[in-house]
Amino acid sequence: MTALATTVSDAVIDRLCSAVGPKGFILDPDLMAPYLLDERGMYRGKTPVVLRPASTAEVAEIVRICAETGTPIVPQGGNTGLCGAATPYEDGRAVLMSLTRMNRVREVDPLNYTITVEAGVILADVQAEAAKADRLFPLSLGGEGSARIGGNLSTNAGGTGVLKYGNARDLVLGVEVVLPDGRVLDLLCGLRKDNTGYDLKQLFIGAEGTLGIITACVLKTFPRPGDVQTAFCAVASPAASVELLSRARTLSDDRVITFEWIGSTAYDFGMRHIPGLRRPLVNDYDHYVLIELAAGSAASGLRETMEAVLADGVENGLVLDAAIAESTAQAKAFWKIRETLPEAQKSEGVSIKHDVSVPISRIAEFIDVASAKLTARVPGIRVCAFGHIGDGNLHFNVSQPAGGDGAAFQALHHDINRIVHDTVVGMRGSISAEHGIGRLKREELQHYKSPVALDVMRALKAALDPKGIMNPGKVL
């Protein structure tokens, strides 16, 4: 690989600024600051310039200049990522490219069930544009009011609709990408069938900006559900949750769109710290699930289906109690319990987070085994787990023992990560189900990914980005 420039010269900065015009760059350190701190406040980076191109041509021109001068580029969308991937390193050698001005909806095609948008469109706006055409864009997650679709694709975001609709990867039909040499790779088609060789678009999805810059994409849309039924249930155990999910899928003719599990520690934290949260059930239990069923038509008898699913669960000893939302407001109140869990956990001191997945059938075993090992290592540790159990994905977070020494607990993070990740990998699971690798999990990736897989990844990186200018030091 060609050596990267150690500094960005004033001449290069001038060329980059001229490529985007006066509205397209920021040099004032105060105005640059929000782009340089990551969502979790773990990394504060440096850059000589924030570039804000407004078109694919401007992105391409910036990349050409960077390729010619060996200048690293860090792409950024909404800067909501959770592993430091969108933050430049502290050495100030990389320019930051924010895609937020590339925020046009290029086409809505209801008959093709597609929407074509630029990378900087906010995820919630993609959903709203689809809804205007009576279509559903099902990607949905906590940060959707700020995250941009280019960032969602680059992290292969999951969220609450994966069970039914898949990850971001499954929702993309085409992409437009500026390659690390500045050429535009136009794969912007809305085809559901195209067997003309390698599926190149998939290379850039989940690549965290290390292989090129996504400038636009064609996304799949779906019919909007006419009826959604939401229930909050107490369940007997994690194993009962998994069994309930399986039975619910069969009994509802596979109309389960969400299945979220919440352990009692997480639930209790929410009730203790989030103002306005109300208990949906009279008593407290050890395990809860939030289930959502959806159907195309409001006259589909979905309410009765939900009742039948829950009654079957009670009969089989899986469900201990349940409440079905009587209104949209009540459904939102159920969701608020799930969505505010990360916030609630902050009030309980130091938390060490793991975003992991295992096969759905091994979720219960994973929770038992990992919890037992952690308790043996740190007596009093509080496993605050919750997650998209329908996708085999848990946010397996652990909080410091109550009233304990936070710094001493933090100092154990390496041991704790090892316990959790060894258990995950022992079950052929993943150490990063949703959030990606970025900077945070680079060493973990080296430790756990097979050497052959790492070789293939490095070969792809070298083939597409021989100068190593695209988001260097992230992922690999």
Q: How far apart are CA 155 and CA 157, in angstroms?
A: 5
Q: By C-alpha distance, which of 87, 67, 70, 104 is closest to 178?
A: 67
Contact between 6 and 55 under an 8 Å Cβ cutoff? The reply is no
- Nearest distance from C-beta of residue 267 to ligand FAD, angstroms: 18
Q: Which is nearer to ligand FAD, 156 or 305 (by Cβ)?
A: 156
Q: How far apart are CA 416 and CA 283, in angstroms?
A: 32
Q: Which is nearer to ligand FAD, 87 or 305 (by Cβ)?
A: 87
Q: Which is nearer to ligand FAD, 183 or 247 (by Cβ)?
A: 183
Q: 212: which 2 tokens?
A: 């090129």
Q: How far apart are CA 219 and CA 169, in angstroms?
A: 10
- Does residue 82 interact with ligand FAD by CB under 6 A? yes
Q: Which is nearer to ligand FAD, 97 or 322 (by Cβ)?
A: 97
Q: What is the DSSP string of 229-263?
A: EEEEEEES-HHHHHHHHHHHHHHTTS-EEEEEEEE
Sole binder of ligand FAD in the list 47, 80, 300, 397 (CB under 6 A): 80
Comparing every residue's Cβ against ligand FAD, the nearest one is 151
Neighbouring-strand partners of residue 172: 219
User: To 10 degrees, what angle do helices 363-377 and 238-251 make?
Assistant: 160
User: To 10 degrees, what angle do helices 56-69 and 10-20 make?
Assistant: 170
Q: Which is nearer to ligand FAD, 148 or 354 (by Cβ)?
A: 148
Q: Which is nearer to ligand FAD, 43 or 232 (by Cβ)?
A: 43
Q: Which is nearer to ligand FAD, 79 or 345 (by Cβ)?
A: 79
> Which residues ranging from 436 to 475 are in contact with ligand FAD (CB under 6 A)?
471, 474
Q: Mark 118-157 with x for binding to ligand FAD (rule: CB under 6 A) and - for no binding.
A: -x---------------------xxx---xx-xxx-xx-x
> Residue 462 in 3-state DSSP?
helix
Q: Which is nearer to ligand FAD, 187 or 295 (by Cβ)?
A: 187
What single DSSP character describes residue 282? S
> How many residues of this chain interact with ligand FAD, rule: CB under 6 A?
35
Query: Considering only 50-58, 81-89, 218-226, 248-256, which stretch makes contact with ligand FAD by CB under 6 A?
Result: 81-89
- Nearest distance from C-beta of residue 183 to ligand FAD, angstroms: 15
Q: How far apart are CA 273 and CA 344, in angstroms?
A: 6
Q: Which is nearer to ligand FAD, 154 or 417 (by Cβ)?
A: 154
- Nearest distance from C-beta of residue 148 to ligand FAD, angstroms: 4
- Does residue 99 interact with ligand FAD by CB under 6 A? yes
> Which residues ranging from 154 to 213 are in contact with ligand FAD (CB under 6 A)?
154-155, 157-159, 208-209, 213
| CA 152 to the chain's CA centroid | 7
Q: Which is nearer to ligand FAD, 99 or 337 (by Cβ)?
A: 99
Q: 251: which 2 tokens?
A: 């009994």
Q: Which is nearer to ligand FAD, 46 or 418 (by Cβ)?
A: 46
- Does residue 220 interact with ligand FAD by CB under 6 A? no
The CA angle 450-451-453, to the nearest 5 degrees, is: 65
- Does residue 313 interact with ligand FAD by CB under 6 A? no
- Does residue 257 interact with ligand FAD by CB under 6 A? no
- Nearest distance from C-beta of residue 236 to ligand FAD, angstroms: 26
Q: How far apart are CA 325 and CA 462, in angstroms?
A: 52
Q: How far apart are CA 224 and CA 263, in angstroms?
A: 31
* Phi-psi map region of 206: left, alpha, beta (phi>0 left; psi -120 to 50 alpha): left
Q: 317: which 2 tokens?
A: 């000893």
> Residue 417 in 3-state DSSP?
helix
- Nearest distance from C-beta of residue 203 to ligand FAD, angstroms: 12
Element (H, E) at 356: strand 355-357
- Nearest distance from C-beta of residue 293 to ligand FAD, angstroms: 20
Sole binder of ligand FAD in the list 19, 85, 412, 431 (CB under 6 A): 85
* Residue 184 amino acid letter: V
Sole binder of ligand FAD in the list 13, 20, 54, 86 (CB under 6 A): 86
Neighbouring-strand partners of residue 432: 355
Interface positions with ligand FAD (CB under 6 A): 39, 74-82, 85-86, 99, 119, 141-143, 147-148, 150-152, 154-155, 157-159, 208-209, 213-214, 434-435, 471, 474
